[in-house]
């Protein structure tokens, strides 16, 4: 028994430092939670007869199919025209099981609006340094406590912010190369509910301006939705490749 305990302790010592150094986010992406903004009685921004909720759902469903073809698991916070509370979106994200040995991401999709009709382009938000992960408590779903057990809450928040930043940059770059004619508004820091409450690297894409008379035309088209979904997919794959 004593010998067994010594061997067990040595095995633990061998495993623990590497597990702590790797962290839960430093694995290829195996799960993406896609969050199409608004829905149901909440149309989001409206312009030229187009509702934000419909435009972003169209992009999100195409992104779902692309990622599934890549062998990545997808969880949708909504896949039809229904209203989902922000809190519930986070519950859906945080309850999703991560595939063994893989990491997870949260990607929210919205369309922008401005009183200045000439405002144009795409931008991506991350919580970055604002991100406070408050999930190591009694509401932590089974399995999640173990996943983050090797990290302090501060360290988990820090790593999540760092990886969110990396994800945001990858998506900005891939949208820029897919849409070279669009105004690149870049990566911004946003104190947004869905970015703050999801216990995984996260980003929110503002695909185009629904208030811009030219952009709203493309935003409502199937071709734009396909291309935007491909660009976001490519950013996610670039991010995943950059980990290993």
Q: Kindly state whether residue 47 participates in binding Zn ion, applying the rule CB under 5 A.
A: no
Q: Identify the residue among 36, 39, 44, 201 touching Zn ion (CB under 5 A).
A: 44
Alpha carbon 90 to its chain's center: 11
Q: Could you tell me if 104 and 167 are in contact, meaning their C-beta atoms sit under 8 angstroms apart?
A: no
Is 178 among the residues that bind Zn ion (CB under 5 A)?
no
**To the nearest whole angstrom, how small is the minimum distance from the Cβ of residue 52 to Zn ion?**
5
Choice between 35 and 165, CB closer to Zn ion:
35
Which part of the chain contacts Zn ion (CB under 5 A), choosing from 42-50, 134-142, 187-195, 212-220? 42-50
Minimum distance of Zn ion from residue 157's CB (angstroms): 25
Query: How many chain residues touch Zn ion (CB under 5 A)?
Result: 3
Single out the residue of 110, 131, 147, 169 in contact with Zn ion (rule: CB under 5 A).
Answer: 110
37 lies in the binding site for Zn ion (CB under 5 A): yes
Q: How far apart are the first and last CA of the chain?
A: 39
Q: 133 vs 32, 68, 137, 152, CA distance in Å?
A: 18, 28, 10, 10
> Could you count the other beta carbons within 10 Å of the beta carbon of residue 106?
29
- For 107, the 3-state DSSP assignment is strand
Instruction: Return all residues near 83 (Cβ < 8 A) that are at least 6 apart.
Output: 38, 39, 40, 41, 42
Question: What would you report as the CA-atom Rg of the chain, rounded to the nearest whole angstrom?
Answer: 19
Of the two residues 37 and 39, which places its CB atom closer to Zn ion in the complex?
37
Which residue ranges make up the site for Zn ion (CB under 5 A)? 37, 44, 110
């Amino acid at each position: 028994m004593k010998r067994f305990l010594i061997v067990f302790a040595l095995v633990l010592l061998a495993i623990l430092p590497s597990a702590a150094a790797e962290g839960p986010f430093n694995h290829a992406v195996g799960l993406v939670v896609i969050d199409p903004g608004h829905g149901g009685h909440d149309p989001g921004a409206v312009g030229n007869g187009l509702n934000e909720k419909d435009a972003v759902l169209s992009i999100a469903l195409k992104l779902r199919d692309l990622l599934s073809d890549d062998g990545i698991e997808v969880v949708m916070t909504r896949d039809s025209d229904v209203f989902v509370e922000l809190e519930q979106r986070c519950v859906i994200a945080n309850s999703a099981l991560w595939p063994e040995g893989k990491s997870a991401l949260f990607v929210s999709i919205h369309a922008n609006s401005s009183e200045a009709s000439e405002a144009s382009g795409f931008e991506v938000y991350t919580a970055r340094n604002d991100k406070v992960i408050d999930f190591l408590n009694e509401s932590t779903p089974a399995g999640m406590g173990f996943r983050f057990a090797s990290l302090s809450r501060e360290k988990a928040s820090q790593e999540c912010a760092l990886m969110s930043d990396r994800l945001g940059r990858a998506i900005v770059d891939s949208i820029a190369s897919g849409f070279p004619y669009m105004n690149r508004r870049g990566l911004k820091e946003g104190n947004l509910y869905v970015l703050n409450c999801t216990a995984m690297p996260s980003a929110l894409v503002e695909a185009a301006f629904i208030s811009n008379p030219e952009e709203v035309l493309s935003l409502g088209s199937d071709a734009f939705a396909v291309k935007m979904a491909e660009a976001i997919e490519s950013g996610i794959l670039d991010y995943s490749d950059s980990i290993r």
